[in-house]
Structure 1
């Protein structure tokens, strides 16, 4: 399980971006392109380097006031093993995943106090002095800043105490508990996904029981030119499943029906969306959809994100139940580490990731087949 305290394209003070040519005072830190940037300057001036190019998929002017009509799924009956409630939930999951891969879940069993504590610890991390944050940042090209041992429940605590400081023991305990809760929720969702696809209901739960997970804490400061920039640009998740809790500021948008649609924040719900790896596991039946995060002109925005992927060496292929129906395979077998290498080093994840990944995989690793 991994914990990543991340800095997005306009978030906080450490930015990964090209050298700045603006007259605003920036300071280059090292040759990797990591810059120290005073976010207070976003209230007065937005450097040209942070203005996204115009275009249907990136220009904020393409935003509508329309909200995504994603299902709101009550997991209360599912967690009580009520078969009627499970069937209803699975049908709602199927409807969403055939169209855009987004839905929200309520009565999910996650303690709201734990969610609140996880948000509190975001402030603890992002309020650290600049020199401390620079010492903890990801190295260029790395996906995670911290890789913990699944079998050691104190590994989060040990990391925060040894790397961030003794006073961060509580932070480690909070995120350890949060990630354990997210893993349990992810396995419930995996079972519903299997039922919705008509395959062995335990198939995905068992496949992801030893999952590879990443937790990301995001903070987006307000920006006076919020209509010209994005907190996170348009992308699809290359992972399998994303569990997001967004604060009440909002900003998450999904590109569906040829327009950007907002996902309404709900304090008692988690947003669930599929990634490319699960699209492959469903043989392309379910969608990994383009989405983005907008910054707000007046308010700071925070979110908690938990990404679920298979263990790196597991073979990603649809369940045998699908092959029995004589369905043609849409994608070759691959491992999560293969797709991770492709999206981190060769390709920014978008709506065509798997189509572009397949020829790369076949040409670079022919021995796999």
Structure 2
């Protein structure tokens, strides 16, 4: 694999890849038949342990139908609480967003990434702070030891969404509709999480005010050597919650009881996972767990990761006082969103929890 080749200049390869502004899709378009070396992680252990038959090792699926019926709601809250404590992940069905909207959103992301490369290049950027719409490959490309086999288009859709004409035309209309529906669902999920903690339904939403929604549309073309690279390496999310829409190819895995368990794609379902900020404010009652995406040579993987957080960088967060006691003292110190996010961006994809430095 030539990893001991002293003449190899990884920085030059990364720079050339980035300056091409064409992403992983551009590599496929150029006809590559082998993974470029910058994507290879020789230390990656592909211990893909998939457990689908054992019901104890299946990510919970929660039906939100008739959620406003008091009897149903009590049962749903119980299921959410159990899933958050044991898994940090669950899928939701009958969530109020039609399958047509979800399918069209996935197709919109595909259309964007499969546009002519010259069109894509126009919005390629590494300015993740000022730009509301960004197209890039690997957010921490220059920090990480190896690159991920995926490209991303990102849109900040709340609290200050872009003007419609600023959105790429290939997904403009569906992105506006999808994000509106998603905000409604996010609000419902946050209410359920608050109630699962024994708090007022609006408690977490008020902590997140002003609520932000950042949508990432990931695109991973078929990998010529899927065993050598990852779609996403082991990580946790920095958000309060993340809602994920994945296409039929799947590939998402969650680390549970020291095993990688696949989150199977269920048509019309959405995946919900707890983020680091929610783990912090719940004082570890709800856990933000490691997850990853494995590469495939079977087709194109498209997913949308929808991050719900707080857009006020000066906001200070710490464990919710109502959840603390002598038996349950605070695990984390209070931190600002700005400090938290600065650490998140500086650490890159190193496989470690974002929360470690903030423990008391």
Q: Which moved more, 1:329-338 or 1:201-210?
A: 201-210
> Any conservation in 2 of the 1:210–1:311 contact (CA below 8 Å)?
yes
Q: What stretches of structure 2 of length at least 5 have no aligned partner?
A: 1-9, 134-154
Q: Distance in 1 between matches of 2:184 and 2:325?
A: 30
**2:164 matched to which residue of 1?**
157
Distance 1:18-1:180 versus aligned 2 partners, 3 A rule: farther
Separation in 2, partners of 1:212, 1:158: 21
Cα-Cα RMSD: 2.9
**Aligned with 1:19 (options 8, 12, 16):** 12
Structure 1 residues 125 and 93: CA distance shift in structure 2, 3 A:
same
Aligned mates of 1:119, 1:33 — CA distance in 2? 20
Cα distance, 1:309–1:220 mapped onto 2, change above 3 Å: same
Cα distance between partner residues in 1 of 2:173 and 2:50: 40
Question: Is the 2:17–2:23 contact (alpha carbons within 8 Å) kept by the matching residues of 1?
Answer: yes
Give distance in 2, aligned partners of 1:152 and 1:27. 34
Q: TM-score, normalised on structure 1? A: 0.79
Q: Residues 352, 271 of structure 1: CA spacing in aligned structure 2 closer, same or farther, 3 A cutoff?
A: same
The residue number in structure 2 matching 1:59 is 45
Does residue 114 of structure 1 match 2:101? yes
Could you say what secondary structure the match of 1:309 adopts? strand
Structure 1 residue runs without a partner (length 5+): 1-16, 360-369
In 1, the alpha carbon distance for the partners of 2:225 and 2:340 equals 35
- Which residue is 1:100 aligned to? 87
User: What's the offset of the Cα at 1:251?
Assistant: 0.2
Give 1:41 shift: 6.3
Residue 272 of structure 1: CA displacement? 0.4
Q: Give yes or no for contact 2:235–2:353 (8 Å, CA) kept in 1.
A: no
Partner residue, 2:321: 320
Correspondence for 1:295: 295
SS in 2 for 1:299: coil
> Structure 2 CA distance, aligned partners of 1:276 and 1:241?
8
Please tell me whether the aligned partners of residues 208 and 310 of structure 2 are also in contact (alpha carbons under 8 angstroms): yes
* Counterpart in the other structure of 2:200: 200
Give the C-alpha shift of residue 91 in structure 1: 1.4
Alignment of 1:24-43 (within 5 A): 27-28=16-17, 30=19, 37-40=26-29
Counterpart contact for 1:200–1:321, Cα < 8 Å: no
Q: Deviations over 1:239-277 (max 9, x none)?
A: 111101111111001111112110010012100001101
Q: Counterparts of 1:133 and 1:343 in 2: how far apart (Å)?
A: 27
Are the counterparts in 2 of residues 143 and 344 from structure 1 also a CA contact under 8 Å?
no
TM-score normalised by the chain length of structure 2: 0.81
Match of 1:4 in 2: none
Aligned to 1:221: 221
Aligned-partner Cα distance in 1 for 2:131–2:292: 20
Q: Distance in 2 between matches of 1:275 and 1:235?
A: 11
Pair 43,63 (structure 1): closer, same or farther in 2 beyond 3 Å: farther
Q: 1:151 to 1:65 in 2, by over 3 A?
A: closer
* Structure-2 separation of matches of 1:250 and 1:197: 31
1:306 aligns with 2:306: yes
In the alignment, is residue 49 of structure 1 matched against residue 38 of structure 2?
yes
Match of 1:74 in 2: 63
- Match in the other structure for 1:336: 337
Q: Take 2:32 and 2:260, find their aligned partners in 1: how far apart are those partners?
A: 26
Q: How many residues are paired up?
A: 325
Counterpart in the other structure of 1:363: none
